[in-house]
Amino acid sequence: MSLLINIDASLSCWLLYTAVSWAWGIRLTLIKMNERKTINLEQGRDFMQKGITKLKNILEGLPEPQFSSEEYMMLYTTIYNMCTQKPPHDYSQQLYDKYRESFQEYITSTVLPSLREKHDEFMLRELVKRWSNHKVMVRWLSRFFYYLDRYFITHRSLPPLNEVGLACFRDLVYTEVNGKVRDAVISLIDQEREGEQIDRALLKNVLDIFVEIGMGQMECYENDFELSMLKDTAAYYSRKASNWILEVSCPDYMLKKVQNELLSVYATQLLEKEHSGCYALLRDDKVVDLSRMYRLFSKIPQGLEPISSMFKQHVTAEGTTLVKQADDAASNKKAEKRDVAGLQEQALKEAFEIFCNKGVAGSSSAELLATFCDNILKKGGSEKLSDEAIEDTLEKVVKLLAYISDKDLFAEFYRKKLARRLLFDESANDEHERSILTKLKQQCGGQFTSKMEGMVTDLALAKENQSHFEEYLSNNSNVSPGIDLTVTVLTTGFWPSYKSFDLNLPAEMVKCVEVFREFYQTKTKHRKLTWIYSLGTCNINGKFEPKTVELIVTTYQASTLLLFNLSDRLSYQEIMSQLNLSDDDVIRLLHSLSCARYKILIKEPNTKTISPTDTFEFNSKFTDKMRRIKIPLPPVDEKKKVIEDVDKDRRYAIDASIVRIMKSRKVLGYQQLVMECVEQLGRMFRPDVKAIKKRIEDLITRDYLERDKDNPNVFRYLA
C-alpha cells in the first residue's frame, strides 16, 4: 500500500512539471521542427516498451527505481514526436494500439493468473488490489500517451485513453471473475447476517469496483450484482421472518433494529450512487421488485427519501431524454412512459398511485409533472418531435395527473413555469400551449385553468397595448424614452405573485418608466402599475476593445453593467448599495457576469464564488466569436415559495369547505364532517385529516362552530 502512495506523490509533482514544460516544450519543438530526426516505428515502440516494463515492475513491487523527470519527459516527447512527424511516419494509430496492447498483455500474463488461483475472501482482496494497481497503470500510461488524447482520438472519434484502459480490465478480468466475485460477496453478507464479523471495508471496495467498471453506466452493477443481491436479500428475509416472530422480547423493536443496521448500510450502498438499483428497476418497469424494495425501505427512517429522489431523477431524466432525442429513440422512450401510464390497466394501479404519491413525497411528483410539461412546451425542448407525438404525450400527461393527489400543487408549479415561458418568449408553439390547457380544463374543470387562460389572453392584450404605446410615441415626438422600450402589462390576479423590489434603475431606464407611465395614464386612470424589474430583459451593446458585442441580459444584469459606465472599478458593497438589492440577488447577478461562461466583469480575487469583499472591473478585453450573446441569469428556486403559497390557499379552502358544510347541515358529527370535507376538496388536493382538525379548532375559536354540550364529537354551526 505504501508503494502506491509514493507513486502518487511523485505523479503529482510530475504533472506540475509537465504543465510548466508543456508550453516550453511546444516552443522548443516548434523551433526544432525542421531539425528533428525522424523516429521510426520500431525504435519508438521499443523505447516505450522499456518505460512500460519499468512501470509494471514498480506495480509488482519489484526493486525498481522511481521514474526520474527526464525519463518522463523522454517518454512523453517520444510519443509527441511520433504523432507529429510527417506521413508516412505519423504513428498515432499504431501508438493507440500499442497502448491497448500493453494492458492486454499485462492482464493476461500476470493479473488473471493471480486471480484464478485464489478463492472467496482472498480472491476478493486480490481483486481489489489488482483493480487499484490497474487504475494507477491507466493513469500513468495515459500521461505518457497523453498527446493521443489531444488530437488523434477527437479526430477519429475514438474512445479516450482512460476508457480504453478501463475497458481492458472490464473485458478481460471482470467478465471472467464477476460471477465468482458476486457469489463471494453474497456469502460474506450472509455470514454477517448470521452474526459473524466481516470485513465491511473490503465489501465496500468490491462494490465500488462494480460501479466503476460501469464507467458511468450502471449496467454492470445493476445486472450483475444488484439484482441477485436483491433476490437474495428478499429470500433471506422471508426465511428469517418466521424466526423473528418467535422471539420473546419485543419483536417489533428487534426487527426494526436489525433491519435498520443492515438496510441502512446497504441502503447507502445500493441507492446513494447516481444511477442506482432503484433506477434500474424503474427503467425496466420491474414493479414487483419495486414494491418489494418500497416495503423494505419504508421500514427504515428516511429510507424512502433516496428512493423518491431517484424516482424524481429518473422521471426528469426520462422526460428530458424524451424531448431531446430523435424521433425513433423518442418513440421508444415514450412507449415506456405509456407503459408507466398504462399501469392503470393492470391490478397494480393502486400500487402505482400510492408509489406515485407517497413514495415520492407528494410534492415531488406534482413538481416533476409540471417540469416535464415545461420541457415539452418550451423552445429547444421537443422541436424534434412531430406535432402528433407531442399531442400524444400531452394527452398522457393529463391522464397521469389523475393519479396525482396534489393537483393544486401541480397547477401552481405549472403556472409559474408557464409564466416564464410566456414572458421570456420561451414557448415553442402556441397551439400546443392552448391544447394542453383545453385538456386540463376537460379533466379538472374550468376553475383549474381559468388563471392560466387569463395569462395567455393577457399576453395578447399586452401586444395590443404595446402597439398603442408605439403609436402614442410616434404622435408625440417630444416624449421619447430614448431607448427602444417594450412594456408588457399583466393582470395581477392571473399571474403568479412576484415580489417587486425597489431596484435603483439607471437614469436611462428611469426616463422610460416615466414616459410609459404618462402614456398609461391617458388610457386609464383606475389602475395601479407595479413594475416587476426582475422579469425584464435588455439588449445592451458592450463596447469591448476587440469588438462590440451585443449582450442579451436581464434588467437586473443590465443595471449592474451600466454602473460601470461611470466607474471602471466597483466593490461588492458599492454595487449593492447603488442597486439597492438584497445580498442573494447581488451574489447571483455578479456570479452570472464574472464567474460563469462569459466573463464580462473581472473579479478580484479570481475565485469561483462571490464574497462581500470582492471588487469588480469592466473586462475591456472580453470577446466572443459571436456578435450577440445571451448571458443567462439562473432563476431563484421557486419551489419553497410555491409550496408555501399552496399551503396557505389550502387552509382557506378547508375553512370555506367546513363552513359551507356546517352551514347547510347545522349539526354534524366529526367523522361525517371530515368525510364530506375530503370529498368536496378531493378534486384539487387530498386534505390531510390533521389539517382539517386544526381548521375545525380554529373555527371553534373564531366562534363559527361549537361542540355539542352532550357529545363532544358533534359540532354545531353558530350563526
Partner 1 sequence: MNKLGRGHRDKVQQFIAITGASEKAALQVLKASDWHLEGAFDVFYSQPQVQSSTDSRCLETLYNRYKDTYTDMIMADGISTLCNDLMVDPQDIVMLVVSWYMKAATMCEFSKQEFVGGLQSLGIDSLEKFRERLPFIRSELNDNQKFKEIYIFAFDWAKEKGQKSLALDTAIGMWQLLFAEKKWPLVDHWCQFLQEKHNKAISRDTWSQLLEFAIGVDPGLSNYDAEGAWPYLIDEFVEYLTENTIIQKGRGKTL
Residues that bind partner 1 (CB under 8 A): 669-671, 690, 693-694, 696-697, 700-701, 707, 712-715
Question: CB of residue 254 vs partner 1: minimum separation in angstroms?
Answer: 14
Residue closer to partner 1 by CB (options 273, 695) is 695
Nearer to partner 1, 583 or 706 (CB): 706
Give the separation between CA 177 and CA 213, rounded to whole angstroms.
Answer: 13
What would the grid cell of residue 115 be? Answer: 486471480
- Could you tell me the smallest distance in angstroms from the CB atom of residue 391 to partner 1? 46
Cell of 203: 465489501
The residue (of 176 and 679) whose beta carbon lies closer to partner 1 is: 679
| Residue closer to partner 1, measured from CB, 73 or 700 | 700
Q: Based on CB atoms, which residue is closest to partner 1, 663 or 694?
A: 694
Closer to partner 1 by Cβ: residue 526 or 690: 690
What are the distances in angstroms from CA 683 to CA 3, 405, 443? Answer: 67, 8, 10
Please check whether residue 394 is in contact with residue 436, taking contact to mean a CB–CB distance below 8 angstroms: yes
Length of the chain: 719
Which of 261, 697 has the CB closer to partner 1? Answer: 697
Least separation in angstroms between residue 696's CB and partner 1 is 8
Q: Are 686 and 405 in contact (CB under 8 A)?
A: yes
Residue with cell 493507440: 96
The nearest distance, CB 669 to partner 1, in angstroms, is 8
- The CA distances from residue 263 to 176, 210, 260, 359, 664, in Å, are 30, 19, 5, 17, 52
* Nearer to partner 1 (CB atom), residue 198 or residue 659: 659
- Using the minimum distance from each CB to partner 1, give the nearer residue, 232 or 698: 698
Rounded Cα gap, residues 388 and 383, in angstroms = 12
Minimum distance from residue 655 beta carbon to partner 1 (Å)? 15
590, 579 contact by CB (below 8 A): no
Residue located via cell numbers 393582470: 491
| Residues β-bridged to residue 548 | 543
Nearest Cα neighbor of 642 from 466, 423, 496, 535 is: 496
Rounded least distance, CB 140 to partner 1, Å = 57
How many Cβ atoms sit within 10 Å of the Cβ of residue 151? 12
Q: In the complex with partner 1, which residue's Cβ is closer, 379 or 702?
A: 702
Concatenate the DSSP letters of all residues of 252-279 into one string. Answer: HHHHHHHHHHHHHHHHHHHHSSSS-HHH
Q: Could you tell me the smallest distance in angstroms from the CB atom of residue 718 to partner 1?
A: 13
Give CA separation, 424 vs 261, 373, 418, 459, 586, in Å.
50, 17, 10, 11, 21
Question: What DSSP assignment string belongs to 650-678?
Answer: HHHHHHHHHHHHHHHHSEEEHHHHHHHHH
Report yes or no: 635 and 420 within 8 Å, Cβ to Cβ.
Answer: yes
* Contact predicate 564/601, CB 8 Å: yes
Beta carbon of residue 689, minimum distance to partner 1 (angstroms, whole number): 9
In angstroms, the CA 540 to CA 389 distance is 39
Closer to partner 1 by CB, 532 or 714: give it: 714
Residue 496 grid cell: 403568479
Pair 579, 562: CB distance under 8 Å: no
Residue nearer to partner 1 on the CB measure, 606 or 713: 713
Min. distance of Cβ 703 from partner 1 in angstroms?
A: 10
Quote the least distance from Cβ 713 to partner 1, whole Å: 4
Give me the least distance between CB of 691 and partner 1, in Å please. 9
Instruction: Assign 117 to helix, strand or coil.
Output: coil
